[in-house]
Amino acid sequence: MTTVTPMLEIADLVAEFGGGSLHECMQCGTCTGVCPWNLVAYNNPRVLLRQISLGFEGYEDEAVWRCVTCNTCVSRCPRGIEIIDVMRSARAVMNESGSVPPNQRGALASLHSDGNPWQGDRSERVTFAAELELPEHTDEHEYLYFTCCTQTYDPRNRKAARALARLLKVSGLSFGVRPEAEVCCGDQARKVGAEEVFTELAEENAELLGAPGISKVLTASPHCMNVINKDYDGAGLGVRAEHYTQVLQRVLEAGHLTPTAQVAKRVAYHDPCYLGRHNGIYDAPRAVLDAIGGLIRLEFRRTRENALCCGGGGGGLWADVPTEERFAVLRVREALEVGAEVIATACPYCTFMLEDAVKVLDLEDEIAVQDVAELLAEAVE
């Protein structure tokens, strides 16, 4: 483990990168008490915040990379400290010195060279739903459908992307795509402190999102929605992103989609952190599931604002975590405890992490992971 040379100036650099609220910490320890890492391994954000404020004195560099940006600590902090921004900013300082974990370097290199973290060819971004012949966005369309890298390049998540695309077409929603003009939203780059890479991606997407005729954006990923609405907001693009479950809820209520087939499954809905705790969207995905005949919706013991993170945010998608310390593994076991045969979610990261956990536990014959759009597509088709 590498020990960073103590320098009080580092705390000032953290503040410059956006972690200025660090200095308001009163060391109450609430963040440590609620951090989900302490369900599987010891973690002490309170001590880490103190070490950062002292210029990393006594700091061991693995600790700051453990944060998966689930927002649990931020939502409970009595001083309103933006702890995620502090962690992101500390990582940015470490990026500047070249101190980045090996497991993050491949994704960052791919983001820089290919515009996505999956080492996928840019030309393949347009092929995820080629057979559906999705319309190219024009000024006449209400929504720009911003495709997610994970749903574009990850084979498992492509199934969810195609299910959503079919639903959008059947509903008659006015939308179009421009995948050839997109690159990754930059969520993971930003959260691991790679500010230069994030800025490159944001500037490229700004050319698309800032074009005349684009005001509404539909996203499959809560991470894309969060970045566009919060991190891109300063660019003055004049656009607003919505998550697909919000849109589907409205078209279902308006009668533009009619689920007719029964989907007889016991389904536990997993709240993605970036949809729930980060953006307060809890009811829309549940409303979509409740519109499906035959489906029995279950709740986890830890649900809504108390839901357990899948572990994929903040670079966690590429982290090398022992099986017994993976949040997704614990989440799969919790789903079995409530009698679920399907874990439903509405985030590509969650789908990836939960599906991997099912495979690691060798439970593929007992429980499945499905995107909310996949379940609705079964009922509509």
Domain of 49: which CATH number? 1.10.1060.10
Domain end position, chosen among 77, 96, 115: 96
Q: Are residues 246 and 267 in the same domain?
A: no
Task: Please indicate, yes or no, whether residues 23 and 83 belong to a single structural domain of this protein.
Answer: yes
Mean pLDDT of 31-55: 90
The range of the structural domain enclosing residue 81 comes to 8-96
Q: Which of 260, 279, 265, 292 is nearest to 347 (CA)?
A: 279
140-169 average pLDDT score: 95
pLDDT at 306 exceeding the cut of 50: yes
Cβ count within 10 A of residue 119? 13
* Same-domain pairing of 244 and 204: yes
Sign of CA dihedral 227, 233, 234, 235: positive
Q: Which of 113-117, 122-126, 149-153, 206-210 has the lowest mean pLDDT?
A: 122-126
Residue 213 in any domain: the answer is yes
Looking at the domain assignment, is residue 1 inside a domain?
no
Tell me, what CATH number does 196's domain have? 3.40.50
Angle at 175 between CA 172 and CA 176, to 5 degrees: 130
Cβ atoms 369, 358 nearer than 8 A: yes
| Higher-confidence position of 158 and 381 | 158
In this structure, the answer to whether residues 336 and 306 fall within a common structural domain is yes
The rounded mean pLDDT for the chain is 91
- Give yes or no: residues 119 and 221 share one domain: yes
Let me know whether 64 and 116 are in one domain: no
CATH number, domain at 290?
3.40.50.10700
Structure tokens belonging to residue 107: 């994704």
Among candidate residues 140, 75, 68, 157, the one with its CA nearest the CA of residue 104: 68
CA distance 144 to 160: 18
Judgement on whether residues 181 and 226 belong to the same structural domain of the protein: yes
pLDDT per position as a tens digit, 35-46: 999 999 989 999
Q: Are residue 116 and residue 189 in the same domain, yes or no?
A: yes
Same domain flag for 162 and 299? no
Q: How confident is the model at residue 52 (pLDDT cuts 50, 70, 90)?
A: confident
Same-domain pairing of 173 and 202: yes
Quick: pLDDT tens for 91-104: 998 888 888 889 99
56, 75, 96 — which closes off a domain?
96
Domain boundary among 34, 61, 96: 96
The pLDDT of residue 11 is 66
Whole-number Å distance between alpha carbons of 217 and 205: 12
Number of domains in the chain: 3
Q: Which residue has the tokens 């950062």?
A: 52
For the chain, list the strands marked E by DSSP.
Answer: 143-146, 175-177, 216-219, 240-243, 266-269, 296-298, 342-345, 368-371
Diameter of the chain by CA atoms?
A: 64
- On whether residue 161 sits in a domain, the answer given is yes
> Given this model, what pLDDT does residue 2 score?
43
Span 251-295, pLDDT tens digits? 999 999 999 999 999 999 999 999 999 999 999 999 999 999 999
